[in-house]
Amino acid sequence: MKGQVNISKATVDRLPLYFRTLRLAQDEGIDIISSDELGRRLGITPEQIRKDLASFGQFGKKGVGYYVNELKRNVGKILGLDNHWNIAVVGIGHLGEALANYQNFVSLGFNLVALFDQDPKVIGKTVNHVVVEDIRNMQQVVKERNIQIGIIAVPAAFAQGVADKLVEAGVKGIWNFAPIKMEVPDSMHIINEDLSIGLSSLSYYITRK
């Protein structure tokens, strides 16, 4: 498999789409899938799919297609999903609880090992078989349980402080749902999900349709 040299962000962003589609095809009992069929399901040209996959190695058989199980395994490996990352959710309000209950974490190779909040009414509550702990113990727990990814679902006013503590504790990445831009070290990988932006964009398009 090729090293990830000069791989465009657009290509990397499409890999999870390929993985999801291959997983659905696997669930349907499909053994072999063509780039044409993948493209039809994703709305991506077969040429783009072949180009994306060729960036990482040679997959599939000319005139036959891709073996679904094999390609799914290889794409998962490229994405690092075989690392079985330990994750924690910080902020167990409505959104945080919904994230903690997300059933696909396990199937994607993510292990939910900790939940944190500062509300005494929430601390001690069990969500998806994990007990909510006091956020004051977060840094110690992150280190003890080797938590690599922190999911921030706290109000914007508290988000930067939580991010600082996660960085200090040694997480490798942050998935941020707070509607603010985080200040983190250049070495920290952070993905921002702002639900209000998505809804506002949708509102724009349907208003003008």
Range 151-163 burial, b when 16+ CB lie within 10 A, else e = bbbbeeeebbebb
Q: What local confidence, expressed as pLDDT, does residue 4 receive?
A: 44
Which CATH number applies to 9-79? 1.10.10.10
- Contact (Cβ atoms closer than 8 angstroms) between residue 191 and residue 150: no
Largest CA distance in the chain: 61
**Numbered ranges of CATH 1.10.10.10 in the chain:** 9-79
Q: What is residue 5's predicted lDDT score, i.e. its pLDDT?
A: 55
Q: What is the pLDDT of residue 57?
A: 84
Percentage of the chain beyond pLDDT 90 is 73
For residue 50, the model assigns a pLDDT of 92
Rounded CA separation 196/177 (Å) = 10
The pLDDT tens digits for 117-151 are 999 999 999 999 999 999 999 999 999 999 999 99
Q: Which pair of structure tokens corresponds to residue 63?
A: 């005139």
C-alpha span between 89 and 85 (Å, rounded): 13
Q: Give Cα 74 distance to the centre of its chain.
A: 17
Task: Answer for the pair 1, 56: CB distance below 8 angstroms, yes or no.
Answer: yes
- d(C-alpha 11, C-alpha 19), whole Å: 13
Enumerate the known binding-site residues: 91-96
Residues in the chain predicted with pLDDT less than 70, given as ranges, are 1-5
> Which residues in the chain are classed under CATH 3.40.50.720?
84-198
Binding residues for NAD(+): 91-96
CATH code of the domain made up of 84-198: 3.40.50.720
